[in-house]
Amino acid sequence: MADAVSIFMSVGLSEQKAKETLKNEALSSTFKKAIEQVHRLLGSASIDKTAGTLLYNMVTRLKDYNRLSFLTKYIVTRKITSELQLSAALDFIKSHPQENMDRLEFEAACGVGVMVTPEQIEDVVELIIRKHKDQLLAERYRFNMGILMGEARTALKWADGKMVKNEVDMQVLHFLGPKTEADLEKKPKVYFYCLEFSNLSTSESVFEKLRENYKTEGYVVTSNTMNLLKKHLEETGGQVRSRFPPEPNGILHIGHAKAINFNFGFAKANNGICFLRYDDTNPEKEEEKYFTAIKEMVEWLGYKPFSVTHASDHFQLLYDLAVDLICRGHAYMCHQRGEELKGHNIPPSPWRERPVEESLLLFDRMRKGMFAEGEVTLRMKMVMEDGKMDPVAYRIKYTPHHRTGDTWCIYPTYDYTHCLCDSIENITHSLCTKEFQSRRSSYFWLCNALDLYCPVQWEYGRLNLTYTVVSKRKIIKLVETGIVRDWDDPRLFTLTALRRRGFPSQAINNFCARVGVTVAQTTMEPHLLESCVREVLNDTAPRAMAILEPLKVTITNLPTNKEVRVPDFPANEAKGSHVVPFSKTIFIEQSDFREVMEKGYKRLTPDQPVGLRHAGYVISQNGMCELEVTCASSDSVEKPKAFIHWVSDPLRCEVRLYERLFLHKNPEDPAEVPAGFLSDINPNSLTGIECALVDHSVGKAKVFDKFQFERVGYFSLDPDSTSEKLVFNRTVTLKEDPGKM
């Protein structure tokens, strides 16, 4: 094993990553083959870490191992030098069989030999800024700079992304000048809504748009549709009405944040209202804590429901409508068992043509509790878009309901309840994720079968993140096995977990806005969400100084203890400051001192002074037994190569550092993780530091208050904190780690 670890480390993997790789036998074997080819091509020479990282990424993503040798050669010979080129190469190989592949076409597709000069980057960025100059001048630094980056990256596909960003930043600064006080004012809150559905022309009112809901694809128009729509418009005044309808059987996650933003944002953009409706039709899985947490998270994201409703509010009306459905000949009582109704090839029910009177009698007996669970169901006579026949409308559950107690022993299903509650509440737009498209026909059919007003249903793609799981069942498994503490463990991507970790709600909303609304499912990398978090915290989290691995330093010539005023926001000192003590004994990070000078090291050594941030002093080592230093005013000595943070007379605190919970992008994918998601846990996902030090400015912080610990990262006060001991969670690092794989 030690030999294999050394081999993997020889191409740039860390020891930890090398050991993790060895746990995957197939991956290890393929990676060894790639490294063997490297040695055949280079002999005794070695490849750098960048090429080694590309090699590793190639092996983990390659599906056709017959191409291993081909791609390895391109990486080793520096023809493929970036992740962008590698992704293009893998995509090309995936769509081109080996026997039909044209090498020149391949090289063109992945940018082999393409050199983008700094002059080319400069020229392209200049043209793009010129194109947007009017909007840039009008919005200044509130302009979405991502537009400039996106156009530049499109025009300069194979350019170095860092060079492009630096050029954009430099030219924007040159064009607009430094930020003014107005530029530094707090950004207005971003409200998220779907442009396609909300932007109406000046000649087209919302009222007029709603009158044409019946033109939506798949909408069933009956002889009474226009009368029902007219009545609906009279009752609502042409108001847009949406709803967010979660099941209260789990905690909301990042995917729900998109749904919340879309439903509430769409209504707000059209001067409408949005309901929070609990789909509480399964008493076996519902708990009070989920009802409370869902409402709390909706409000935390900045949205206030027009009304909080429950499907159970309408249980009696839903039952009456079911009786009506039977009377109209559109539903029947069926004795097929649950296992017979699973899947799509369900055998036709022998009770489908049962007389209406008989079904009414049996439904009444079912309501009175005269059947066992699973013995009978009420089914609707219709075929869904996915081919599933006669979905269940009512089933028996002898479990007390959270709100109605033992009043009911039969409960409606989603397929029956959803559209009817929308109709009852005069919802105009049922916005739901793509997997519900197969239920659109049943949605329209049921409203029309009962001759009720029918809203429209629009579907959009779900939002997923890599390196996580959001399934309720799997999160429960993580909790039960002790891998995470609870639903709000900061390594999860539930909304309560993100709040506990310190993610601002505004950052989550901004992330949803950037992702946008598409029909296709969206899978994003966590670092994109973290980038939104940094943007918000950079403007809102006051600075403090904290030491995670303390090293005691004695300043031998400091005449008296002092106080130092530290700005809360160094880029805008007008936003306030705080005072910290400065005494002869201070603490610095262990990593900020080395006894032996190394090339490129800019902090404290016996031969190299270092500045103390905000203190106005430069310190130099003069003691040999312990770390003793002398200080001098920074005005009286040569400017040091670096300034470090420090604390004096600090508070002790606990700090929790979080990394990704899973090692692979898709822990639920058997191709990536054959042994299942529980085998993919990152052993270093949580590091606890019990004896960290922090300055007194955070002493009165409240739970969830956020700070930037200078040079360390963004942190949030955890609910585990007490008056005796503060506990901080690292929200994100100051910058994205480019080496994270």
pLDDT in tens, 441-488: 888 899 999 999 999 888 888 899 999 999 888 999 999 999 999 999
Q: Phi, psi at residue 275, to the nearest 5°?
A: -95, 150
Query: Residue 401: what pLDDT?
Result: 93
Q: Where does the pLDDT of residue 188 fall: very low under 50, low under 70, confident under 90, or very high at 90 and above?
A: very low
Please spell the DSSP secondary structure of 151-217, one letter per residue: HHHHHTTTS-HHHHHHHHHHHHHHHH-S--HHHHSPPPPPPP--HHHH---TT--HHHHHTTGGGST
Are residues 700 and 726 located together in one domain of the fold?
Answer: yes
Sign of the torsion formed by the C-alpha atoms of 328, 329, 330 and 335: positive
CA 612 to chain centre: 37
Q: Where does the pLDDT of residue 510 fall: very low under 50, low under 70, confident under 90, or very high at 90 and above?
A: very high
Are residues 555 and 669 located together in one domain of the fold?
Answer: yes
Other Cβ atoms less than 10 A from the Cβ of 454: the count is 28
Two tokens, residue 538: 């950079």
Are residues 26 and 157 located together in one domain of the fold?
Answer: no
Q: pTM here?
A: 0.70
Are residues 38 and 132 located together in one domain of the fold?
Answer: no
Question: In the annotation, is 462 catalytic?
Answer: yes
Higher pLDDT among residues 560 and 732, named by residue: 732
CATH number at residue 584: 2.40.240.10
* Sheet of strand 686-694: strand arrangement: 543-544, 706-709, 713-717, 726-732, 651-658, 686-694, 546-547
| Widest pairwise Cα distance in the chain | 101
Reply yes or no on whether the pLDDT at 213 is more than 70.
no
CA 307 to chain centre: 27
Give the Cα-Cα-Cα angle 369, 371, 375 (nearest 5 degrees).
140
Percent of the chain at pLDDT > 90 equals 54
Give the Cα-Cα-Cα angle 197, 199, 201 (nearest 5 degrees).
125
Two tokens, residue 214: 């019946």
Query: Residue 160: what pLDDT?
Result: 78
Residue whose structure tokens are 């001991």: 725
DSSP collapsed to 3 states, 607-662: CECEEECCCCEEEEECCCCCCEEEEEECCCCCCCCCEECCECCCEEEEEEEECCCE
- How many independent structural domains does the chain possess? 4
Task: Report which of 730, 719, 250, 299 is spatially closest to residue 503, judged by C-alpha positions.
Answer: 730
Give the whole-angstrom CA distance, residue 223 versus residue 225: 6
Q: What value does the CA radius of gyration of the chain take, rounded to a whole number of Å? A: 31
Choosing from 462, 474, 485, 711, the catalytic residue is 462
Give the Cα-Cα-Cα angle 509, 515, 518 (nearest 5 degrees).
125
- Which residues sit opposite 652 in a β-bridge? 693
Name the DSSP class of 221. Answer: P
- 307 assigned to some structural domain: no
Give the whole-angstrom CA distance, residue 261 versus residue 274: 11
Contact predicate 673/680, CB 8 Å:
yes
Domain hosting 509: range is 472-540
Query: Residue 366: what pLDDT?
Result: 96
Give the whole-angstrom CA distance, residue 470 versus residue 371: 36
185 exposure class (CB count in 10 Å sphere: 0-12, 13-18, 19+): exposed
> What percent of the residues of the chain are helix, what percent strand, and what percent coil, each to the nearest 5?
40, 20, 40
Are residues 87 and 134 located together in one domain of the fold?
Answer: no
Q: Where does the pLDDT of residue 623 fall: very low under 50, low under 70, confident under 90, or very high at 90 and above?
A: low
Give the whole-angstrom CA distance, residue 157 versus residue 149: 11
Q: Which residues contact 695 (CB under 8 A, 6 or more apart)?
A: 544, 545, 546, 566, 580, 647, 648, 650, 651
Amino acid 488 reads: D
Coil vs helix vs strand at 46: coil
Across the range 215-238, mean pLDDT stands at: 83
Q: Which of 136-150, 593-607, 679-693 has the lowest mean pLDDT?
A: 136-150
Q: Which of 144-153, 494-503, 548-557, 648-657 has the lowest mean pLDDT?
A: 144-153
Are residues 527 and 549 located together in one domain of the fold?
Answer: no
Higher pLDDT among residues 242 and 48, named by residue: 242
Reply yes or no on whether the pLDDT at 565 is more than 80.
yes
Query: Residue 728: what pLDDT?
Result: 98
Query: Residue 469: what pLDDT?
Result: 94
Are residues 528 and 551 located together in one domain of the fold?
Answer: no
Contact predicate 384/266, CB 8 Å:
no
CATH number at residue 72: 1.10.8.1290
- 346 assigned to some structural domain: no
Query: Which of 57, 88, 110 is the last residue in one of the domains?
Result: 110
- 605 assigned to some structural domain: yes
Query: Residue 459: what pLDDT?
Result: 86
Q: How do residues 650-705 score in pLDDT, each as one tens digit? A: 999 999 999 999 999 999 999 999 999 999 999 999 999 999 999 999 999 999 99
Choosing from 247, 296, 425, 535, the catalytic residue is 247
Residue whose structure tokens are 């700005």: 567
Query: Residue 189: what pLDDT?
Result: 38
Reply yes or no on whether the pLDDT at 740 is more than 60.
no
Query: Residue 345: what pLDDT?
Result: 62
Q: Where does the pLDDT of residue 343 fall: very low under 50, low under 70, confident under 90, or very high at 90 and above?
A: low
Are residues 483 and 593 located together in one domain of the fold?
Answer: no
Q: What is the mean pLDDT of the chain?
A: 87
Are residues 614 and 717 located together in one domain of the fold?
Answer: yes
Query: Which of 482, 510, 540 is the last residue in one of the domains?
Result: 540
Two tokens, residue 190: 């971003």
Give the whole-angstrom CA distance, residue 152 versus residue 111: 16
Question: In the annotation, is 32 catalytic?
Answer: no
Q: Which of 71-85, 119-133, 413-427, 573-587 has the lowest mean pLDDT?
A: 71-85
DSSP collapsed to 3 states, 460-524: ECCEEECCCCCCHHHHHHHHHCCCCCCCCCCCCCEHHHHHHHCCCHHHHHHHHHHHCCCCCCEEE
Query: Residue 519: what pLDDT?
Result: 79
Angstrom CA distances, 220 to 214, 446, 457, stand at 7, 10, 12
Buried b (16+ CB within 10 A) or exposed e, 325-355: bbeeebbbbbebeeeebeeeeeeebebeebe
Highest mean pLDDT among 68-82, 131-145, 663-677 belongs to: 663-677
Percent of the chain at pLDDT > 70 equals 93
Query: Residue 335: what pLDDT?
Result: 92
Two tokens, residue 629: 């230093």
Highest mean pLDDT among 142-146, 196-200, 510-514 belongs to: 510-514
Q: At what angle do helices 440-449 and 414-424 cross, to 10 degrees?
A: 60
Query: Which of 492, 522, 540 is the last residue in one of the domains?
Result: 540
Task: Report which of 135, 173, 168, 138 is spatially closest to residue 151, judged by C-alpha positions.
Answer: 168
Are residues 46 and 126 located together in one domain of the fold?
Answer: no
Contact predicate 656/729, CB 8 Å:
yes
Query: Residue 665: what pLDDT?
Result: 92
- 526 assigned to some structural domain: yes
Query: Residue 505: what pLDDT?
Result: 96
Query: Residue 701: what pLDDT?
Result: 95
Give the whole-angstrom CA distance, residue 558 versus residue 554: 9
Coil vs helix vs strand at 424: helix
Query: Residue 10: what pLDDT?
Result: 80
CATH number at residue 502: 1.10.1160.10
Q: Which of 378-387, 577-586, 727-736 has the lowest mean pLDDT?
A: 378-387
Query: Residue 386: what pLDDT?
Result: 64
Higher pLDDT among residues 38 and 258, named by residue: 258
Angstrom CA distances, 472 to 247, 261, 475, stand at 11, 21, 5
Q: Where does the pLDDT of residue 339 fall: very low under 50, low under 70, confident under 90, or very high at 90 and above?
A: confident
Higher pLDDT among residues 62 and 498, named by residue: 498
- 627 assigned to some structural domain: yes
Amino acid 418 reads: H
- 75 assigned to some structural domain: yes
Reply yes or no on whether the pLDDT at 257 is more than 50.
yes
CATH number at residue 173: 1.10.10.2420
Are residues 491 and 547 located together in one domain of the fold?
Answer: no
- 438 assigned to some structural domain: no
Question: In the annotation, is 247 catalytic?
Answer: yes
Are residues 536 and 554 located together in one domain of the fold?
Answer: no
Number of helices (H), then strands (E), belonging to the chain: the values are 25, 26
Query: Residue 191: what pLDDT?
Result: 34
- 710 assigned to some structural domain: yes
Name the DSSP class of 543. Answer: E
Query: Residue 384: what pLDDT?
Result: 74
Choosing from 434, 472, 562, 613, the catalytic residue is 472
Reply yes or no on whether the pLDDT at 423 is more than 70.
yes
